[in-house]
């Protein structure tokens, strides 16, 4: 088994985290650039306000586009009257479904503009362009649409009722195509017959808004230099935008050039909404031959921007009296909304993880996606995990209670260990995947004194009369809760996980990276630069990057699923290694030595060293050449190309999609968290005091960025757990801005103590597995379990806001 290195990271107390990592590094591994907290490559531009975000785009003669959105959940469009809108001074153009030149059905059945009928409150009916945004807003408000209202299905229950109106009449019912995923192993009836204790529980989570600081913005303009259009904007997945807009315009993909601007947060969300916006603006740009810009207001972004899918999970679980889980059976429904680009992938990921990080011999999971006449679900950090980990980790706590074991003891007894097999039949090979969940659970609980605190609170909570405290005492009840998770790295069986990069070492010895992964604040540019710098021994200030531009960078799918490091980073590493090999071939001649027949990853064993912007003989460091001279020599005299492509695809997964059996993901991350809360028993107000979380992440390419990602994730998890709730009464979104939608602010930040566990997993570059998502999923269940610990009451619905915490249920 590979050694595990633990690195203490306390965000509140150790500002100098990078240094800590260095001093703790295992002696046998020493890195030059990786595993160090370099400043972000794009940091200066961002903190000084120089960077251009989507809304900053301004083009000569641009016009402004504004959407006309449906006020009804389901209705037939009878007539669209533009006459009043056209009278507004400054009105330039309008488009409806009839103006879409190509296909009006994009991936996931999203129309550019609704043609026959609207399917949710927020569906686009028309788009108006005018000389100013104000004129466009006014004109859009004057578009008169006549609807004939139709019966709508607003909940999963309504959608699945017999004879329910169908969201898509060409389908047999409201099940989303290919969204039912199964994970069957063993025989659950056998498992339940062995159980002494069986629990059956329902857990519910609602929509959650990504709430990025920057609302969506795009600008579309006729390409000034060639046939086609250019799209710039706050786009997470430029290749998806290119493909869908090309189809909508009926042109080949190379007529659509997509350039990503800096993005003020995305978290998976700037996908469907920007595709639709770009397509609408493209139709207007084609019609007017003028640049068309669309920037959503916060209210519009709330209506059509990224939302996590609601999950309705029914679980049945059994255990023997001594606390060994024998079987788990679950049926889960994801509310997909009116259109769907995600449920088939989301639910597949969900099906792999629905039984939690436990060794359970008999598992039966069925996850379904359901169309409703409501806003649609998108990818949002976690991609099924925040919903399911809340359910499973609440359930495990309940089962532990029923078995009269404390939550730690119960988890230690059942958690996955190296060599165990997960429900898909995949074995956690100790060499490749050192599943150290046990170690992690012990670390977070030791560090917090979990057992003692949990027992004390529990004893207090079951004392008779404790509920009387409710009325008068200002005394806060304290609670402590535990949760654990594991997470497949990258796309796994969701789809082809290829990453791509092109690296160019210029003749002056400076490097440029064109990566297929997009930067959206997560720091991928810096991480990729560190990986390239590690290979080439080049200093970080010599590394730059190309903006993401579909006419420059390579199409290797979307930047999702925390795959920027695993597949994107490996692609960078491969390209850098190619350049290194070419440089080495020149260097051996110049320095006059023989080439090592095995110049590979056995660090320190090569004849040549690449370090400090210099190449030298390992045996004789004085015999050296600077990278600048070497690059110049290759360019000028030797004709050696110093541009290289790297493509990387993780091992093909052997997976049977019909049964879910096979190797689901190339590797897994593990995590555990403890939440310490106080509850005001008089108001139901939960204050999260401290989160202690540990993650096994392979390797932290840039520890500061990793801590930043995890801390942000933890905050989003906290909001999901106790604050964030989208009110969609009658299908209409009530929570349109941050006065109603409660996103946690900086003053809500608890003390955060993050422990990083590094292992030499050989799948990602230098072992790194990708840390973008795992931070979020542990927090809501840890809080819910802490609430139980404080009160003896269990809340099975998120968020645990004042009303649920006090009354046990939502007010409406």
Partner 1 sequence: MKPLAILQPETISEVIAVIDEYDNRALCIAGATDVMIALRNRELPEATELLVDISRIAELQGIREDENLIKIAAGTTHTEIEQDPLLQHYAPCLCAAARSIGSPQIRNRGTMGGNIVTAAQCADTIPPLMVLSAEIVLVSRCGTRILPIEEFFTGPKKTARRNNELVTEIRFAKPPPNARGYFYKLMRKETVAKARISIAALAEQSLDGTISLLRLSPGSVTPRPRRFYPVEQLLEGRKPDEHLIEEAAGKTAEIMVSITGRRWSTPYKEPVLRTLAARALKEILTIEEQPHVQ
Output the six-digit token pair for 35: 């595993």
Q: Which is nearer to partner 1, 107 or 802 (CB)?
A: 802
Footprint (CB under 8 A) of partner 1, residues 547-586: none
Least Cβ distance, residue 714 to partner 1 (angstroms): 16
Least Cβ distance, residue 698 to partner 1 (angstroms): 34
Residue with tokens 């402590």: 480
Q: Which stretch binds partner 1 (CB under 8 A): 98-106, 570-578, 745-753, 784-792?
A: 745-753
Q: Which is nearer to partner 1, 180 or 466 (CB)?
A: 466
Closest listed residue to residue 733, CA positions, set 428, 307, 263: 307
Footprint (CB under 8 A) of partner 1, residues 336-395: none
Least Cβ distance, residue 702 to partner 1 (angstroms): 30
Least Cβ distance, residue 90 to partner 1 (angstroms): 13
Least Cβ distance, residue 740 to partner 1 (angstroms): 9
Q: Name every residue whose Cβ is closer than 8 Å to that of residue 163 and which is 6 or more positions away in sequence.
A: none
Could you say whether residue 192 binds partner 1 (CB under 8 A)? no
Sign of the torsion angle spanned by Cα atoms 549, 553, 558, 561: negative
Q: Which is nearer to partner 1, 169 or 474 (CB)?
A: 474
Q: Could you say which of 158, 420, 439, 803 contacts partner 1 (CB under 8 A)? A: 803
Q: Which is nearer to partner 1, 490 or 719 (CB)?
A: 719
Closest listed residue to residue 210, CA positions, set 380, 48, 76, 413: 380
Q: Which is nearer to partner 1, 409 or 727 (CB)?
A: 727
Footprint (CB under 8 A) of partner 1, residues 697-726: 723
Sign of the torsion angle spanned by Cα atoms 725, 726, 727, 729: negative
Q: Could you say which of 168, 470, 638, 690 contacts partner 1 (CB under 8 A)? A: 470
Could you say whether residue 314 binds partner 1 (CB under 8 A)? no
Q: Name every residue whose Cβ is closer than 8 Å to that of residue 430 and which is 6 or more positions away in sequence.
A: 1, 418, 419
Q: Which stretch binds partner 1 (CB under 8 A): 104-112, 347-355, 551-559, 742-750?
A: 742-750
Residue with tokens 């629905």: 354
Q: Which is nearer to partner 1, 464 or 474 (CB)?
A: 474
Give the sheet arrangement for strand 256-260, strand by strand. Answer: 91-96, 124-130, 63-69, 292-295, 217-222, 229-233, 256-260
Number of residues that bind partner 1 (CB under 8 A): 27
Q: Which is nearer to partner 1, 213 or 746 (CB)?
A: 746
Q: Which is nearer to partner 1, 151 or 745 (CB)?
A: 745
d(Cα 609, Cα 677) in Å, to the nearest integer? 52
Least Cβ distance, residue 135 to partner 1 (angstroms): 10
Q: Could you say which of 27, 474, 592, 604 contacts partner 1 (CB under 8 A)? A: 474
Q: Which is nearer to partner 1, 459 or 807 (CB)?
A: 807
d(Cα 759, Cα 111) in Å, to the nearest integer? 46
Consecutive H or E run containing 7: strand 5-10
Could you say whether residue 289 binds partner 1 (CB under 8 A)? no
Consecutive H or E run containing 585: helix 570-591
Could you say whether residue 729 binds partner 1 (CB under 8 A)? no
Q: Could you say which of 404, 601, 745, 793 contacts partner 1 (CB under 8 A)? A: 745
Q: Which is nearer to partner 1, 142 or 197 (CB)?
A: 142
Q: Name every residue whose Cβ is closer than 8 Å to that of residue 574 and which is 6 or more positions away in sequence.
A: 501, 646, 647, 648
Q: Could you say which of 1, 161, 620, 807 contacts partner 1 (CB under 8 A)? A: 807
Q: Could you say which of 291, 660, 744, 775 contacts partner 1 (CB under 8 A)? A: 744
Sign of the torsion angle spanned by Cα atoms 673, 677, 681, 684: negative
Closest listed residue to residue 580, CA positions, set 642, 528, 529, 632: 642
Phi-psi region of 716 (alpha: psi -120 to 50; beta: other; left: phi over 0): alpha
Least Cβ distance, residue 738 to partner 1 (angstroms): 7
Alpha helices in 177-290 (DSSP H): 188-193, 238-249, 272-288
Could you say whether residue 811 binds partner 1 (CB under 8 A)? yes
Q: Could you say which of 748, 751, 762, 797 contacts partner 1 (CB under 8 A)? A: 748
Q: Contact 62/131 with Cβ under 8 angstroms?
A: no
Q: Which is nearer to partner 1, 477 or 644 (CB)?
A: 477
Could you say whether residue 213 binds partner 1 (CB under 8 A)? no
Sign of the torsion angle spanned by Cα atoms 170, 172, 173, 175: negative
d(Cα 456, Cα 352) in Å, to the nearest integer? 36
Alpha helices in 676-778 (DSSP H): 703-722
Could you say whether residue 747 binds partner 1 (CB under 8 A)? yes
Q: Could you say which of 112, 138, 276, 433 contacts partner 1 (CB under 8 A)? A: 138
Q: How far is CA 195 from CA 320, 327, 357, 759, in A?
A: 5, 8, 19, 36
Least Cβ distance, residue 133 to partner 1 (angstroms): 11
Could you say whether residue 168 binds partner 1 (CB under 8 A)? no
Residue with tokens 């609170």: 457
x/- binding map, residues 644-683, to partner 1, per CB under 8 A?
A: --------------------------------------xx
Q: What are phi and psi of 383, to 5 degrees?
A: 50, 70
Q: Could you say which of 557, 684, 698, 712 contacts partner 1 (CB under 8 A)? A: 684
Could you say whether residue 685 binds partner 1 (CB under 8 A)? yes
Q: Contact 485/670 with Cβ under 8 angstroms?
A: yes
Closest listed residue to residue 377, CA positions, set 327, 350, 341: 341
Could you say whether residue 742 binds partner 1 (CB under 8 A)? yes
Q: Contact 684/802 with Cβ under 8 angstroms?
A: yes
Least Cβ distance, residue 749 to partner 1 (angstroms): 9
Output the six-digit token pair for 781: 């269940």
Q: Which is nearer to partner 1, 78 or 472 (CB)?
A: 472
Exposed (0-12), middle (13-18) or buried (19+): which is 595, by Cβ within 10 Å? Answer: middle
Q: Which is nearer to partner 1, 160 or 469 (CB)?
A: 469
Least Cβ distance, residue 473 to partner 1 (angstroms): 9
- Give the CB-side neighbour count of residue 492, counting CA atoms within 13 A: 30
Q: Which stretch binds partner 1 (CB under 8 A): 92-100, 106-114, 319-327, 795-803?
A: 795-803
Could you say whether residue 471 binds partner 1 (CB under 8 A)? yes
Q: Name every residue whose Cβ is closer than 8 Å to that of residue 510 and which is 6 or more positions away in sequence.
A: 542, 543, 544
Least Cβ distance, residue 801 to partner 1 (angstroms): 7
Q: Applying CB under 8 A, which residues contact partner 1?
A: 134, 138, 470-472, 474, 682-685, 723, 738-739, 742-748, 801-803, 806-807, 811-812
């Amino acid at each position: 088994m590979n050694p595990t290195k633990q690195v203490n990271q306390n965000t509140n107390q150790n500002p100098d985290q990078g240094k800590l990592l260095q001093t703790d590094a295992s002696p046998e591994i020493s890195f030059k650039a990786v595993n160090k907290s370099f400043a972000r490559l794009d940091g200066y531009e961002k903190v000084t306000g120089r960077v251009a975000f989507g809304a900053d785009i301004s083009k000569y003669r641009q016009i402004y586009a504004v959407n006309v959105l449906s006020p009804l959940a389901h209705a037939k469009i009878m007539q669209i009257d533009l006459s009043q809108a056209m009278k507004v001074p400054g009105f330039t153009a309008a488009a409806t479904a009839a103006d879409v030149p190509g296909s009006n059905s994009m991936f996931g059945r999203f129309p550019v503009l609704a043609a026959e009928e609207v399917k949710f409150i927020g569906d686009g009916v028309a788009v108006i362009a005018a000389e100013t945004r104000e004129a466009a807003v006014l004109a859009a408000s004057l578009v008169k649409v006549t609807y004939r209202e139709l019966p709508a299905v607003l909940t999963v229950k309504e959608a699945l009722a017999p004879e329910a109106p169908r969201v898509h009449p060409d389908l047999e019912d409201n099940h989303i195509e290919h969204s039912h995923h199964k994970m069957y192993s063993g025989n659950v009836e056998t498992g339940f017959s062995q159980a002494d204790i069986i629990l059956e529980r329902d857990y519910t989570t609602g929509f959650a808004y990504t709430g990025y600081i920057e609302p969506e913005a795009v600008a579309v303009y006729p390409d000034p230099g060639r046939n086609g259009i250019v799209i710039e904007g706050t786009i997470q997945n430029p290749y998806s935008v290119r493909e869908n807009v090309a189809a909508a315009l009926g042109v080949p993909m190379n007529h659509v050039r997509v350039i990503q601007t800096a993005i003020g947060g995305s978290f998976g969300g700037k996908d469907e909404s920007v595709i639709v916006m770009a397509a609408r603006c493209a139709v207007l740009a084609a019609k007017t031959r003028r640049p068309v810009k669309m920037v959503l207001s916060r209210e519009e972004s709330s209506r059509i921007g990224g939302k996590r899918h609601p999950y309705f999970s029914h679980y049945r679980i059994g255990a023997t009296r001594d606390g060994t889980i024998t079987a788990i059976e679950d049926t889960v429904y994801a509310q997909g909304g009116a259109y769907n680009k995600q449920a088939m992938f989301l639910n597949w990921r969900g099906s792999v993880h629905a039984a939690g990080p436990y060794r359970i011999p008999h598992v039966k999971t069925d996850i379904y996606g359901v169309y409703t006449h409501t806003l649609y679900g998108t990818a949002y950090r976690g991609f099924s995990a925040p919903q399911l980990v809340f359910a499973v980790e609440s359930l495990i706590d309940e089962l532990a209670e029923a078995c009269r074991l404390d939550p730690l003891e119960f988890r230690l007894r059942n958690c996955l260990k190296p060599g165990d097999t997960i429900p898909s039949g995949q074995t956690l090979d100790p060499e490749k995947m050192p599943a150290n969940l046990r170690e992690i659970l012990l670390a977070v609980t030791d560090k917090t004194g979990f057992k003692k605190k949990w027992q004390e609170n529990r004893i207090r909570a079951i004392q008779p009369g404790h509920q009387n405290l409710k009325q008068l005492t200002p005394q806060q009840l304290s609670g402590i809760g535990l949760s654990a998770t594991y997470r497949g790295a990258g796309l796994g069986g969701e789809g082809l996980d290829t990453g791509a990069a092109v690296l160019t070492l210029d003749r002056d010895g400076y490097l440029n990276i064109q990566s297929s992964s997009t930067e959206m604040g997560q720091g991928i540019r810096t991480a990729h630069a560190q990986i390239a710098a590690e290979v080439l021994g080049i200093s970080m200030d010599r590394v730059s990057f190309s903006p993401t531009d579909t006419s420059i960078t390579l199409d290797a799918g979307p930047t999702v699923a925390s795959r920027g490091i695993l597949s994107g980073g490996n692609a960078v590493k491969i390209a850098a290694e190619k350049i290194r090999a070419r440089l080495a071939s020149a260097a051996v001649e110049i320095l006059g030595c023989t080439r090592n027949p095995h110049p590979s990853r056995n660090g320190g064993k090569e004849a040549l060293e690449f370090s400090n912007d210099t190449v030298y003989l390992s045996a004789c460091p004085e015999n050296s050449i600077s990278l600048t001279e070497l690059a110049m020599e290759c360019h000028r005299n030797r004709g050696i190309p110093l541009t290289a492509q790297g493509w990387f695809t993780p091992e093909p997964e052997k997976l049977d999609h019909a049964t879910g059996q096979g190797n689901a993901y190339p590797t897994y991350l593990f995590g555990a968290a403890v939440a310490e809360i106080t509850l005001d028993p008089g108001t139901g107000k939960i204050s999260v005091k401290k989160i202690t979380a540990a993650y096994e992440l392979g390797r932290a390419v840039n520890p500061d960025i990793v801590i930043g990602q995890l801390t942000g994730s933890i905050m989003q998890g906290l909001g999901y757990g106790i604050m964030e709730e989208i009110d969609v009464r009658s299908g209409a979104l009530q929570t349109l801005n941050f006065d109603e939608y409660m996103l946690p602010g900086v003053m809500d930040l608890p003390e955060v103590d993050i422990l990083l566990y590094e292992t030499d997993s050989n799948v990602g570059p230098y072992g790194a597995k990708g840390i973008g998502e795992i931070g979020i999923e542990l927090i809501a269940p840890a809080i819910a379990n802490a609430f139980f610990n404080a009160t003896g009451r269990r809340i099975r619905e998120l968020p645990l806001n004042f009303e649920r915490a006090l009354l046990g249920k939502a007010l409406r």
